[in-house]
Amino acid sequence: MISADHLKAIAPWARELEPTELERAARGTTVRVFNKGSYILHRGDRLDAWIGVIGGLVKVSAISSSGKAVSFAGVPAGGWLGEGTVLKNEARQYDLVAVRDSRVAFMAGTSFRWLADNSFAFNRFLVRQLNERLGQFIALVASDRMLDAPARLARCISWLFNAVLYPNDGAHLEVSQEELGLLSGLSRQAANKALQNLEDRGLLRIERQGITVLDLRGLAHLGE
């Protein structure tokens, strides 16, 4: 378990909870560290826990029966995921992999479901979270089928700045070109070329320690 103050520090949604709700949530939460490339969980696992990324970067992905890898989303620090799986009490439908060394929080399913049953503030957060995630995955299907590499990478980057799913201040993101390729499903070479294209369009600036977004709306709507 962690302290209530620690939970408030790593989870913005926790700051809206009542004291008794916050204490219950903190008691059911633990933190683990995963090295780069480690699997946090595998598709088919029945891990009854809600997952939050405290530090680092993780990838939600799956491998088809034919061996094709599919990347669904990148989750930076501040993002929480897996609420649908915990609510339905089912096996995971995806792999969760640490793209870089990452600290990850696990809230026990019993604590999560207690909050869902008893906390108005938590339910309000969940509605926003689920609605935003649905929109993201609808956009993912569209971008995968209709957009070229620069536009696909642009959408991937814009999703990392989603203020509802991944609270993050500022326009800078510490991410390597290799990591962006992994998150967008592009080869490193294709991702590098697409990233340069986006910089040439004035949508972002490539820096030594990542990227700085100059036009988030432009990234989100590129290719429309």
Question: What pLDDT score was predicted for residue 118?
Answer: 96
Question: What pLDDT score was predicted for residue 113?
Answer: 96
74 touches 99 (CB < 8 A): yes
Question: What pLDDT score was predicted for residue 144?
Answer: 63
Strands 210-213 and 95-98: unpaired
Q: Where are the domains of the chain?
A: 4-119, 147-221
Task: Please give the span between the terminal C-alpha atoms of the chain, in angstroms, as a whole number.
Answer: 46
139 touches 145 (CB < 8 A): no
- Shared fold status for 4-119 and 147-221: no
If one counts every other C-beta atom within 10 angstroms of the C-beta of residue 91, the result is 12
> Measured between alpha carbons, how far is residue 148 from residues 49, 143, 144 in Å?
36, 8, 8
CATH topology of domain 4-119: Jelly Rolls (2.60.120)
Question: What pLDDT score was predicted for residue 17?
Answer: 96
Question: What pLDDT score was predicted for residue 31?
Answer: 97
Strands of 95-98's sheet, edge to edge?
39-41, 95-98, 57-63, 69-76
Tens digit of each residue's pLDDT (9 = 90 or more) over 123-180: 999 999 988 888 777 776 666 656 788 988 998 898 888 888 887 767 888 888 888 8
Distant-in-sequence, close-in-space partners of 210: CB < 8 Å, separation ≥ 6: 172, 173, 174, 175, 176
Least confident of 48-57, 59-68, 169-178: 59-68
What architecture (CATH level 2) is domain 147-221?
Orthogonal Bundle (1.10)
Which phi and psi (to 5°) does residue 95 adopt?
A: -95, 150
Full 3-state SS string of the chain = CCCHHHHHHHCHHHHHCCHHHHHHHHHCEEEEEECCCCEEECCCCCCCEEEEEEECEEEEEEECCCCCEEEEEEEECCCEECHHHHHHCCCCCCEEEECCCEEEEEEEHHHHHHHHHHCHHHHHHHHHHHHHHHHHHHHHHHHHHHCCHHHHHHHHHHHHCCCCCCCCCCCEECCCHHHHHHHHCCCHHHHHHHHHHHHHCCCEEEECCEEEECCHHHHHHCCC
Q: How far apart are CA 9 and CA 161, in angstroms?
A: 19
The single residue listed with the structure tokens 């959408």 is: 155
